[in-house]
Amino acid sequence: MLSKRSQTIVSIGRSFATAVSTPSARRKLPADGLSFGDFASGDVLPVSERVILGNTSQPRLPSFLKHPIPSGKSYTEIKKDLRGLGLHTVCEEAKCPNIGDCWGGDKGQATATIMLMGDQCTRGCRFCSVKTSRLPPPLDVHEPENTAEAISRWGLGYIVLTSVDRDDLIDGGANHIAQTISKIKQKAPSILVEALTPDFAGKGAEAVHLVATSGLDVFAHNVETVERCTPFVRDRRAGFQQSLTVLEEAKKAARAANKEILTKTSIMLGVGEEADEIMETLRRLRASDVDVVTFGQYMRPTKRHMKVDRYVLPEEFAKWKDVAEGMGFLYVASGPLVRSSYKAGEFFIENVLKKRRARAQVEEGAMGDRATV
């Protein structure tokens, strides 16, 4: 049996629940706020007039950006393999929306983007959810071998490597990345390797050259956004022109070493860019001889990160794909869920590279035949 005091509290609670769940006569909020008597009488503001704290300017996530929870046998096996060898992936660290699609593919199609040099970055870009640290732990000397071992087990034709920025290292981690690529090629000579690299700021062109001539097939480095937005989106140590120079130096180094590589970059939309700025960015990328460009929607990883300026419609992504292709890019991937390492693009690039290899082998064979005549 409830006491009179308990019955009163229950009655107040019921009155409040009724008031916020059903329409009632609207009235202005008193300057000194609601009194206990207001709540006791049930005369409170309806839900529509309640003050909502937090960021109300953030646009709502549209349905075309929602994705299923990752699962499946292949997803589980890749995750187990990575944990067993102590490896990290950007798929997890950056909360990529495509993780279920990429990890959950069929045998020979499932792929993961390995993140080298740990899971702590010395940069603090405002869009990225990877952990930051001024002094991350030392490099794992076994990582190149362990990475090559994991990749050789998966039986893939194409693999993507990326890394955190390591401004604390003398070479920015260039030698570590180059070693990893070399180990992969030793264990699986036919595999195609894409490396999404840092900018190696302040480490000199030698760091870029070392990675570009290590045996990789695609040298990727992301400009991320248009030049005007760069200071607000990326870490202060990054720069738009600096990123263009990295892509230019990679292509230059490969040619000097008589190696044929593709260069690739990625642009996020929805961070405040304007159409004319995107056009100018594409022009400068082509002038830097970049082969592949991808467009994707910026999605806020947590409330601590910068807000989404707008959600770009699929039709606009399709437009930028047409524009970029018309400018001469070898391949363009453009869509709300496209990321710089996205398997649909990898399949296309894989075919392009395989055709180039086959053509080179035919040409070498023809030269050999002429030499013996």
pLDDT by residue (tens digit) across 96-132? Answer: 665 556 655 554 455 667 889 998 999 999 989 889 9
Give dist(CA 128, CA 12) in Å, integer: 46
Would you give the DSSP letter of residue 109?
A: T
Own/partner pairs for 238-241, CB < 8 Å, 24+ apart?
Answer: 238/123, 238/125, 238/199, 238/201, 239/199, 239/201
pLDDT value at residue 157: 77
pLDDT value at residue 311: 95
Give dist(CA 136, CA 37) in Å, integer: 57
Residues in the chain: 373
Select from 51, 52, 89, 55 the least CA-distant residue to 305. 55
Other CB atoms within a 10 A radius of the CB of residue 51 amount to 6
The helix or strand, by DSSP H or E, that contains position 194, with its residue range, turns out to be: strand 192-196
Other CB atoms within a 10 A radius of the CB of residue 27 amount to 11
The two structure tokens encoding residue 22: 């059903």
User: Is the CA virtual torsion 46, 48, 49, 52 positive or negative?
Assistant: positive
Tell me the pLDDT band of 324, cut-offs 50, 70 and 90: very high
Residue 60's Cβ-count burial label (10 Å; 0-12, 13-18, 19+) is: exposed
**Per the annotation, does 229 bind a ligand?**
no
The percentage of the chain sitting over the pLDDT mark of 70, rounded to a whole number, equals: 66
pLDDT value at residue 88: 66
The answer on pLDDT for 321 being more than 70 is yes
Which of 88-92, 95-99, 252-256: highest mean pLDDT? 252-256
Give dist(CA 14, CA 33) in Å, integer: 21
pLDDT value at residue 359: 77
Residue 284's Cβ-count burial label (10 Å; 0-12, 13-18, 19+) is: middle
Asked if residue 187 lies in contact with residue 145, where contact means CB atoms within 8 angstroms, the answer is no
Structure confidence by residue, pLDDT tens digits, 134-161: 999 999 999 999 999 888 887 777 888 9
Asked if residue 343 lies in contact with residue 102, where contact means CB atoms within 8 angstroms, the answer is yes
Cα torsion at 23, 28, 31, 33 (round to 10°)? -10
pLDDT value at residue 151: 85
Structure confidence by residue, pLDDT tens digits, 165-215: 999 999 999 999 999 999 999 999 988 899 999 999 878 899 999 999 999
Give dist(CA 155, CA 78) in Å, integer: 12
pLDDT value at residue 79: 67
Select from 308, 240, 232, 223 the least CA-distant residue to 270. 308
Select from 252, 240, 317, 220 the least CA-distant residue to 283. 240
**Per the annotation, does 341 bind a ligand?**
yes
The helix or strand, by DSSP H or E, that contains position 159, with its residue range, turns out to be: strand 158-163
pLDDT value at residue 67: 56
